[in-house]
Amino acid sequence: MAIKEFKTYILDMETVRPHQLSMTTITSQAIIVGRAIDEDGTEGWSEVANIGGISYGEQTPEAIKINIDTYLAKFVIGREAKDFNLIMHEIGHAAKGNNYSKAVVEGALIDLAARQKGIPAYELLGGKIHNSIPLAWTLASGNTERDIKEAKELLAIKRHKIFKLKIGTGDPDANVEHVRKIIEAVGDQAKVTVDINQAWDEDTSVRCIKKLQDYGVNMVEQPVPVWNYEAMARLTQKFDVPIMADESSTYIHDCFLIAKHRAGNCIALKPCKHGGLLETKKVAAIAEAAGFGLYGGTMIESSLGSAMALSVYSTISAFEFGTELFGQFLYKDRITVDELQVKDYELIIPDKPGFGLEVDVDKVKFYARDFY
Ligand code: MUC
Ligand code: MG
């Protein structure tokens, strides 16, 4: 059944508390939702997010939408969703960059193709290997005591026992002290990792990672700016604690060079960053060949985008650092009728058709800047 319409919405979703990263503090985040409708009225839905408008990724929410609507949607009209690999191949040749836009288009095609066949999307991506993946939570309230309280509550309800601390804002020594206090409070029950989101230079990284390693941090994510692959390589060489490439690992070509030069020794996957679920699998294969540990990353998508990412993560062999698809818990509301389930600290892979969650169209209408 051919696709007759492709729609793109921008939704503004409020968070339950401020979420502080080195480059911005999120209280409301724009998510971008794709909707492919076939001639029978069957729908495929997708979602990506981009943190802080223009402060994190290179595509703004507005650019993601306009580039889909103007340049990419025409590739899917009149086509069969099951041809998503061919369609994305064509789009890959016709459009440079714009990975977030590509991920939205591809996701809606895959969800639709799976729903047309009545199967989970992971069946179209090779089939699932995992039934669940350990789920990390990001402590980023901007206040050490509040983070400790939050971590203890989440441990008590068995939702998370991996905590990623967002640091890099303000004085680096104060950042390190914040991490020390959290490890002192919950380090015997949980793994603690840190994400600096490019905020430190190499000298600061050398000085601070030494202390973080001594305190027992389990992984250090993107300490230096994207462009500084050489510093990433020296830090990887210098420390035992794993150094994760996040912002610096976008295209398959970046990942190949990171692997070749050991500019990091683990990789955060994110479908929006790589340009879709198929590209995510390619990045994962390069990382696997390099012997890297993987992390099932998020750009803090809500339940729909998390289910989309989870569909491909379920097909990838191993996640040494688990996944951080916690987005549905950070938003005050959701745009799906149901949500992803967590049991004993693990996110369960849904087995229903498509990405496994039903979209609540009235909620999309309510939160969309423009619904049509
Ligand atoms: C990032 O850089 O990893 C993921 C979790 C979170 O809190 O922020 C994102 C982005
Ligand atoms: Mg990161």
Are the CB atoms for 107 and 35 separated by under 8 Å? no
Confidence grade of residue 54 (pLDDT, cut at 50, 70, 90): confident
**pLDDT, tens digit, for every residue of 343-352?**
999 999 999 9
* Probe target for ligand 1 pocket from 20, 23, 29, 138, with the most ligand atoms within 8 Å of CB: 138
Nearest CA to ligand 1 atom 9: 299
Cβ atoms of 323 and 310 within 8 Å: the answer is yes
Per-residue confidence band for 332, with pLDDT thresholds at 50, 70 and 90: very high
- Identify the residue whose C-alpha is closest to ligand 1 atom 10: 299
Residues forming a β-bridge with 245:
267
Are the beta carbons of 234 and 255 closer than 8 angstroms? no
Structure tokens that stand for 220 in this block: 């250090």
Per-residue pLDDT band at 279 (split at 50, 70, 90): very high
Q: pLDDT per residue over 136-147, tens digit each?
A: 999 999 999 999
Q: Which ligand number lies closest to the CA of residue 221? A: 2
Backbone φ, ψ for residue 285 (5° rounding): -65, -40
Angle between helices 303-313 and 277-289 (to 10 degrees): 40
Give me the pLDDT at residue 202, please: 98
Q: What pLDDT digit, counting tens, does each position of 200-235 carry?
A: 999 999 999 999 999 999 999 999 999 999 999 999
Quote the CA–CA distance of 66 and 68 in Å, as a whole number.
Answer: 5
The amino acid occupying position 315 is T
Distance between CA atoms of 218 and 190, rounded to whole angstroms? 10
> Is the pTM here over 0.85, yes or no?
yes
**Is 249 within 8 Å of 264 (Cβ atoms)?**
yes
Ordered domains of the chain (ranges, CATH)? 3-119+360-367 (3.30.390.10), 124-348 (3.20.20.120)
What are the residue numbers of the active site? Answer: 166
Cα(220) to centroid(ligand 2), Å:
9
Q: What pLDDT was estimated at residue 41?
A: 98
Distance (Å) from CA 222 to ligand 2 centroid: 6
Residue 58 pLDDT greater than 90, yes or no: no
Mean pLDDT (the chain, rounded): 97
Element (H, E) at 256: helix 252-261
The tally of CA atoms less than 13 A away on the side-chain side of residue 201 is: 1
- Cβ-contact 258, 266 below 8 angstroms: no
Question: In this predicted structure, what is the pLDDT of residue 57?
Answer: 84
The amino acid present at 304, given as its one-letter code, is L
Q: How far is the CA of 294 from the centre of ligand 2 (A)?
A: 13
For atom 1 of ligand 1, the residue with the nearest CA is 299
Q: Which residues line ligand 1 (CB under 6 A)?
A: 21, 138, 140, 166, 195, 197, 246, 297-298, 300, 324
Ligand 1 pocket: which of 21, 31, 58 to mutate (most atoms within 8 A of CB): 21
Q: Which ligand is nearest to the CA of 20?
A: 1
Confidence of residue 174 (pLDDT cuts 50, 70, 90): very high
DSSP string, 72-96: IGGGTTTSBGGGHHHHHHHHHHH--
For range 60-82, the mean pLDDT: 98
Q: What mean pLDDT do residues 57-74 have?
A: 96
